[in-house]
Amino acid sequence: MEVLKEKVEEEEEAEREEAAVRAERGEKVVRPMEVRREEAPMTQEMLRDLEKKLSDIEMAIPEKLSTFTKDTIDISKLPLSYQSNTLKEEHLLQVADSFSRQYSHLCPDRVPLFLHPLNECEVPKLVSTTIRPTLMPYPELYNWDSCAQFVSDFLTMVPLLDPLKPPSHLYSPTTVLKYQEGNCFDFSTLLCSMLLGAGYDAYCVNGYGSQDMCQMDLTRDVCPLTVKHQEVVQEEEKVPPKKYAIKPPRDLTSRFQQEQETKKLEEIKAEEERRLREEEERLLREEDKEATQYPSTFLWMISHPESQRRKPDVEKAKTDPLHGLRVHSWVLVLSGKREVPESFFIDPFTARSYSTQDDHFLGIESLWNHKNYWVNMQDCWNCCKDLVFDLGDPVRWEYLLLGTEKSHLSLTEEEEDGLNDDDDVENLGKEDEDKSFDMPPSWVEQIEISPEAFETRCPNGKKVIQYKRAKLEKWAPYLNSNGLVCRLTTYEDLECTKTLEIKEWFQNREDMLELKHIDKSTGLNVDYFKPGHPQALRVHSYKSMQPETDRIMEFYDRARVDGLVKREETSKTMTEYYRGRSDFLSYRHVSFGDRVKKLSLNSAESNPRPIVKITERFARNPEQPADEDVAERVFLISEERIQLRYHCRDDHITASKREFLRRSEVDNKGNKIVMTPDMCISFEVEPMEHTKKLLYQYEAMMRLKNEEKLSRHQAWESELEVLEILKLREEEEEEHRLTISIYDTKRNEKSKEYREAMERVMHEEHLRQVEAQLDYLAPFLAQLPPSEKMTRWQAMRVKDECLSDFKQRLIDKANLIQARFEKETQELQKKQQWYQENQVTLTVEDEDLYLSYCSQAMFRIRILEQRLNRHKELAPLKYLALEEKLYKDPRLVEFMKVFV
């Protein structure tokens, strides 16, 4: 009873909501009308136009706001197949009805079959015909996982009105796609259509699922993105011990002691486990107590799934009183086609695949594809674990239509069917001509997904999924101005209040930022970049963007000239790792001292931190003997010491070392000391004569001094680079420009402009062509009596008239030019006369004015003269051209021929 009451309440609420929406909408509609009324009177047409537009708007609003009930769907626009049944379909429905009757007669204790729900036009349709196998034109939708992901992203889940019963209506996949909403049956029908189109052996399943699954409640699931990929530890191939492998030294440790040790460890572990178990049990008991206080919790949860999700969740699922009764629909993919090795379920809500043994699936009533319908005759006492998906076995699966899809029992036949699906009908007929009745084609229209919709994916391009201790938000690309496409927030607690870490994925960023990982507990930010950052940055992890703080930058070393792989910084040190350098440098560590306070206030100069120590390591240079190839050199700058360590020879365990002291440049008497034996302490693996010489040591020290300078310079440059990168990063973060592929015609402004320009040019070209095709004969032809065939005489006359008219026009034009010319000359003459008369009294300005006038007039006259001459020259030619054209005119040509 309570269920019913809740339902009524819910309906009422829905009505109320709708009313509110309608009221709002009404306001919206009315207001602009009022505004308009105050303006100038409108014509009837405008009014009608406006009304039409408004009505269009009115149509759009409810669709968006509706809770997807049948009255919001515009039935009138749907094709005929949606609104009525064909004869065959009627027949099929009858068959289904009789099947259903027999079934209920034979199994009176089972619920009625979900066979032919009503569609959006209130027409009963068999569920199998609602499936419309379609292969999508997107290569991304060719595999089952991406298909399922798309369906789960694209549609918004609406819970079943009655969670214990299949819905009364099952809409077509096209309608579902249009409104982007649906219940589990809509989801699985759409997904099944796509999978069948892609060649999978897929079935829609009507069955029973767990509460979490039916309500798409992922709050108890761990987000798949947070699960770390378990490193598959590659079993090292055990090399068979070689014939002459040396025997390991004898193990002299006591085995007894080892055993005692392990025993102790195990005991400690067991103790720990026991303690944990007790803790858990205690918690559970408390929860149970809590649960008993709210006996009707589950009902409340059903009608308010949203609020339920927000409700503080508990680690363990509560026992669901409706367990095993909740109706759910999902997709079954059988093995065999598309190289599927094993049958599995897909939950269309979450797009996850489950094995057929999974605990979430509690039972199956029936399943169907576009060809047939099967009723499960097996016992589901142990969920779906014992079910055998051998649809050809009539004891386990009762079929609606005989032998549409052949059994798995007879393998050879099945293969045949697989090979030529098209022949199914024929085979059928041969097998059983009397009883066979094949499934009519689907009444649903072709499923189409526009590229825009495909790219946007989620309704309005945004989707939020709540997982256990995590929230996943998805956006369509280009929706966010900073390129954000996905954000995963992980929380510490189940209530999702304390943020643990945030991961943000970006796309199409110009700075190639791919992933930003913010760890709230440590305050560590890690940015990951794709190849192509201007500074070849790969990973940047930092706590603050201030220089001289802890940070690690990793680079794409192939893209850098200096082969830098990684640079680690702390407040006092900087460590750089290199790879593939020609000088074999692989590591440089710089320690800084405290800044010395500058006495002078000259702050314009930067005050670099003093370098205390530089350590550089080199890889082995195969061209030099090991004794001369430096492995590590340490410049102790403050102590004025240089330490060298050489590489180890291949057959040695010790390496040569050398230390230079350059403390005493001048001895106590003030004499300059060049080099003394105690300035160089060395240990040589194999003492050599020449290295003992002071000269050799002196030269080596001079070289090292130079190199020290260079290394210091390098360190300074590295510091500068860090500053530069930080500045660049800040700029990039502020700007966050997005790149647009040149193939993206919709977004690429440049190409758009170019295209528009091209179109404009085309249009103009077209106009010009139209102009060029002006008919010079038209006015003369119009004089002729209409709809009569021209006589030769008439044709001649038309031609002559046309010519004479043209001649006249040429003459007129010449006359016109002549007249203007004369006028100009007259005026000039007048002016000249006037000038001569008043020459004496004229001011300088007037004279200038006159002179400029004269020159202009002369210019005009000359131009006119030129024009006249040109006209005179061209006129006869033009006349001849016209004559020729007229001779060739298709309308006159037949008359002219005779004369020629």
Partner 1 sequence: MNWLYDSVEPRVMDEDMLKLAVGEQGPRDEAGQLARQEGILFKDVLSLRLDFQNILRIDSLWQFENLRKLQLDNNIIEKIEGLERLVHLVWLDLSFNNIEAIEGLDTLVNLEDLSLFNNRISKIDSLDALVKLQVLSLGNNEISHVTNIIYLRRFKDLRTLSLSGNPIAEEEDYKMFICAYLPDLVYLDFRRIDDHMKELAEIKHQYGIDELKQRENLTQAQLDDERAQREELEEHKAAFVERLNGSFLFDSMYAEDVEGNKLAHLPGVSELLQAYKDKFVIICLNIFEYGLKQQEKRKVELDTFNECVQEAIQENREQGKRRIAKFEETHLLSLNAIRDESEVTNLEMKVAEHSKDITELFDMLMTLEMQLVEQLEETINTFERNIMDLVALFIENVQSLMAQCRDLENHHHEKLLEISINTLEKILKGELDEDLPYDVRALFVDKDTIVNAVGTSHDLHLLKIDNREDELVTRTNSWCSHLVDAIHKDEIMRNRRRVKEIHQYVDHVQNELDNLECSEIID
Contact positions toward partner 1, by CB under 8 A? Answer: 242-247, 249, 648, 651-654, 674-675, 683, 685, 690, 693-695, 698-699
Tell me the C-alpha distance between 224 and 231, whole Å: 16
Tell me the C-alpha distance between 510 and 816, whole Å: 66
Tokens 């016992």, located at residue: 379
Tokens describing residue 28? 């919206």
- Of residues 526 and 685, the one with the C-beta less far from partner 1: 685
Question: Least CB distance from residue 629 to partner 1, whole Å?
Answer: 16
- Of residues 599 and 653, the one with the C-beta less far from partner 1: 653
Question: Least CB distance from residue 226 to partner 1, whole Å?
Answer: 39
Contact residues for 371 (Cβ-Cβ < 8 A; gap 6+): 128, 401, 404, 405, 424, 438, 439
Tell me the C-alpha distance between 734 and 272, whole Å: 51
- Of residues 557 and 616, the one with the C-beta less far from partner 1: 616
- Of residues 542 and 618, the one with the C-beta less far from partner 1: 618
- Of residues 118 and 675, the one with the C-beta less far from partner 1: 675
Which residue in 463, 26, 416, 414 sits closest to 216, CA to CA?
Answer: 463
- The secondary structure of 80-111 as a DSSP string is HHHHS--HHHHHHHHHHHHHHHHHHHH-TTSP
Tokens describing residue 714? 């390098």
Tokens describing residue 445? 């229209």
- Of residues 90 and 699, the one with the C-beta less far from partner 1: 699
- Give how far Cα 861 sits from Cα of 342, 823, 830, 869, Å: 98, 9, 14, 12
Tell me the C-alpha distance between 328 and 374, whole Å: 17
Question: Least CB distance from residue 689 to partner 1, whole Å?
Answer: 8
Tokens describing residue 734? 């502020």
* 256, 262, 264, 270 alpha-carbon torsion, rounded to 10°: -150
Question: Least CB distance from residue 283 to partner 1, whole Å?
Answer: 49
Question: Least CB distance from residue 670 to partner 1, whole Å?
Answer: 16
- Of residues 648 and 728, the one with the C-beta less far from partner 1: 648
* 742, β-bridge pairs: none
Whether the Cβ atoms of residue 166 and residue 327 lie closer than 8 Å to each other: yes
Question: Least CB distance from residue 628 to partner 1, whole Å?
Answer: 15
Question: Least CB distance from residue 686 to partner 1, whole Å?
Answer: 9
* 398, β-bridge pairs: 375
Question: Least CB distance from residue 224 to partner 1, whole Å?
Answer: 43
- The secondary structure of 155-205 as a DSSP string is SEE---SSTTS--SB---HHHHHHHTEE-HHHHHHHHHHHHHHTT-EEEEE
- Of residues 244 and 793, the one with the C-beta less far from partner 1: 244
Tokens 């700075």, located at residue: 511
Contact residues for 756 (Cβ-Cβ < 8 A; gap 6+): none
Whether the Cβ atoms of residue 498 and residue 469 lie closer than 8 Å to each other: no
Question: Least CB distance from residue 648 to partner 1, whole Å?
Answer: 7
- Of residues 675 and 814, the one with the C-beta less far from partner 1: 675
- Of residues 696 and 780, the one with the C-beta less far from partner 1: 696
Tell me the C-alpha distance between 154 and 146, whole Å: 12
- Of residues 5 and 703, the one with the C-beta less far from partner 1: 703
Tell me the C-alpha distance between 891 and 781, whole Å: 10
- Of residues 457 and 617, the one with the C-beta less far from partner 1: 617
Question: Least CB distance from residue 236 to partner 1, whole Å?
Answer: 16
Whether the Cβ atoms of residue 660 and residue 704 lie closer than 8 Å to each other: yes
Question: Least CB distance from residue 511 to partner 1, whole Å?
Answer: 42
Tell me, letter by letter, the H, E, C secondary structure of 446-491.
Answer: CCCCCHHHHHHCCHHHEEEEEEECEEEEEECCCCCCCCEEEEEEEE
Question: Least CB distance from residue 254 to partner 1, whole Å?
Answer: 20
- Of residues 325 and 636, the one with the C-beta less far from partner 1: 636
Which residue in 202, 188, 173 sits closest to 78, CA to CA?
Answer: 173
* 518, β-bridge pairs: 502, 525
- Cα 165 to the chain's mean position, in Å? 38
Question: Least CB distance from residue 697 to partner 1, whole Å?
Answer: 9
